Amino acid sequence: MSSVDGVGTKLKIAGALDKHNTIGIDLVNHCVNDILTCGAEPLFFLDYIAMGKLVPEHVEAIAQGLAQACREVGCALIGGETAEMPGLYTGEDYDLVGFIIGVVEKEKIIMGKTIVVGDAIIGLPSSGLHTNGYSLVRKLFGVTQSVLNTHYPELGRTLGEELLEPHRCYYHQLKPLLPLIKGMAHITGGGLVDNVPRVLPQGVAAQLNSQAWTTHPIFHLIQQQGNVTQDEMYHVFNMGIGMVVICSPDDVGQLTKAIPEAKVIGKVVKQMGEARVIID
């Protein structure tokens, strides 16, 4: 199994705050979660860093985050490419991309084919925005030092600290439970609305109860700041759910006992009309 991804415009927040040691963690965890949805174990990882101006301190901080996250999941960081391209990137701007390879026995690949009406949908909490929705956040708040260093009581920290919270990895929690899982969706760009259908077979939909989990204060703050509609919020952000797991109702108890913070957030229903995700 393989996956390639980037960190998106979260890099702009890291640049504005001159804090680059967590961006590598974001990237590795995002990629690990992506192949985990198929049941894969990470084997090795490569990175690509493109910069307008090579700043050794930035590269070192990024690499520290990459190495830390790889060590935590037993994945080898085997190499990468660092490119200085002043004609393409401005000043100290940079882009960061990761490529991961993992492995799973063919007969154990999780593809959602056995999902049926009545199966339970379990949500694992995110640690915040993870790596999606930052273009909208930057449009609403801006990326000045004064804005990012503003302390919000509801967040318990500054906006910048909240926005740089690393993307959570679910590998260690879910690996022992893979035999119980029928399907998984990593909630990234497109939110619950666009990511959950990827694992659903034809003829079924996901009915979610938005009252079943606690939404992070950051999402309420974003919605208030930009007067963003509820529909758009669920299309752009993970809304507090970083990974969705679908299993038989008989296995819910074992899953939620192993991961106490996991919540049953919905069920699989027969599809009526075009909607693949229904959020009540």
101-120 average pLDDT score:
95
Give the pLDDT band (50/70/90) at residue 90.
confident
- 194-237 per-position pLDDT tens digit: 999 999 999 999 999 999 998 999 999 999 988 899 999 999 99
- 6-28 per-position pLDDT tens digit: 999 999 999 999 999 999 999 99
- 153-185 per-position pLDDT tens digit: 999 999 999 999 999 999 999 999 999 999 999
pLDDT for residue 89? 87
Res. 87: pLDDT tops 90: no
CA distance 75 to 42: 6
Range 120-279: architecture per CATH: Alpha-Beta Complex (3.90)
244-261 average pLDDT score:
95
Token pair in block for residue 222: 């974003």
pLDDT for residue 273? 81
Sign (positive or negative) of CA dihedral 259, 264, 269, 275: negative
CA distances from 140 to 212, 234, 239, 278 (A): 28, 17, 17, 27
Mean pLDDT of the chain: 94
pLDDT for residue 91? 85
Give the pLDDT band (50/70/90) at residue 274.
confident
The answer to whether 130 and 242 have CB atoms below 8 angstroms apart is yes
Domain ranges of the chain: 2-108, 120-279
CATH: 3.10.180.10, 3.30.1330.10, 3.40.50.1980, 3.40.50.2300. Which one for 2-108? 3.30.1330.10
- 26-39 per-position pLDDT tens digit: 999 999 999 999 99
pLDDT for residue 229? 92
Res. 75: pLDDT tops 80: yes
pLDDT for residue 168? 96
Nearest to 218 by CA among 187, 239, 191, 195: 239
